[in-house]
């Protein structure tokens, strides 16, 4: 499973969207199963998280992978029932059960014997499958649930830190069980899956929050709203500078949210108004309300 700083987001929770959720989960199950059976299993590569643990145990003890995925994941779903809700737990149980069933009964072709292609495209299909399931309000791997529960007691570690530690241990064991080369290819699979998962969840319109401090804040506001078609929030602050942090004059600070494709145009527009403007940007995992979608300009 991929490292994130928050529990899996439940997308599309309106009652009339259950069919869409089910479609996301079913497509995710098929994609993940295809990545596992058509790429990774024949080359003895693994993924991270609970799926990786299941694959290691299946290789070491000659046990059915489908049974292991079901048996190891479902306790985490049960533990997360009270924290994440009945609907999420039910969807996840169905998704994991569906993945185990598809792995057990559906004959997928072995696509390629090239090790690099196997590692990369296995990760692509697994990452896409996990991401699609999460868009349907479920998970196909209980790692994040386990990390979320443990992080409540180990306050110094974030969820992403715990997932990273778990995966370091998994790939360390993989070196001993599978050998160095398969373990290294498995790490490549994990990285490919992580990137695809991020793209599926956030898409090409990943949002970026931008804070702009300038003495020409009102002119910058007009440029953003009239030229770029984005909404802004203005709040008041004071400048601090010098060795003693002397307070300067009061000024309005501009905050806006744009997609990463619009970010270069925003920075250019701001610098045209004030080349010395202080700009801070940071990724936003999700946003709704306000003028998130660019409005048409006339």
- Cα–Cα distance, 54 to 284 (Å, whole number): 33
Torsion of CA 212, 213, 219, 225, to 10 degrees: 20
pLDDT score recorded for residue 149: 73
Model confidence over 85-117: pLDDT tens digits? 788 889 999 999 999 999 999 999 999 999 999
| Domains in the chain with CATH codes | 15-202 (no CATH), 207-284 (3.30.70.120)
Model confidence over 142-200: pLDDT tens digits? 887 777 777 667 766 676 777 888 899 999 999 999 999 999 999 999 999 989 988 88
How many C-beta atoms lie closer than 10 Å to residue 235's C-beta? 9
Model confidence over 41-72: pLDDT tens digits? 999 999 999 999 999 999 988 899 999 999 99
pLDDT score recorded for residue 5: 47
Do the Cβ atoms of 58 and 124 come closer than 8 Å?
A: no
Model confidence over 212-239: pLDDT tens digits? 998 899 999 999 998 888 889 898 887 6
pTM (predicted TM-score): 0.73
pLDDT score recorded for residue 74: 85
């Amino acid at each position: 499973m991929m490292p994130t700083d928050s529990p899996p987001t439940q997308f599309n929770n309106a009652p009339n969207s259950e069919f869409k959720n089910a479609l996301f989960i079913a497509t995710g199950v098929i994609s993940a199963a295809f990545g596992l059976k058509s790429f990774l299993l024949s080359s003895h590569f693994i993924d991270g998280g609970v799926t990786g643990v299941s694959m290691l145990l299946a290789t070491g003890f000659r046990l059915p992978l489908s049974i292991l995925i079901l048996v190891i994941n479902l306790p985490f779903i049960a533990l997360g029932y009270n924290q994440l809700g009945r609907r999420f737990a039910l969807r996840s149980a169905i998704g994991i059960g569906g993945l185990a069933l598809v792995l057990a009964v559906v004959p997928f072709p072995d696509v390629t014997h090239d090790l690099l292609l196997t590692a990369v495209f296995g990760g692509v299909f697994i990452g896409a499958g996990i991401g699609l399931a999460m868009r349907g309000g479920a998970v196909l791997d209980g790692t994040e649930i386990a990390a979320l529960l443990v992080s409540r007691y180990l306050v110094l570690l974030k969820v992403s830190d715990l997932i990273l530690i778990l995966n370091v241990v998994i790939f360390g064991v993989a070196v001993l069980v599978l050998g160095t080369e398969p373990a290294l290819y498995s790490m490549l699979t994990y990285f490919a899956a992580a990137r695809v998962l991020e793209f599926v969840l956030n898409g090409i319109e990943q949002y970026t929050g931008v804070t702009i401090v300038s003495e020409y804040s009102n002119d910058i506001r007009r440029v953003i709203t009239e030229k770029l078609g984005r909404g802004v929030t203005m709040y008041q602050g004071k400048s601090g500078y010098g060795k003693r942090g002397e307070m300067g004059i009061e000024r309005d600070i501009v905050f806006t949210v744009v997609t990463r494709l619009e970010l270069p145009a925003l920075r250019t527009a701001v610098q045209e108004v004030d080349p010395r403007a202080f700009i801070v940007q940071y990724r936003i995992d999700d946003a709704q309300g306000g003028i998130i979608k660019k409005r048409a300009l006339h």
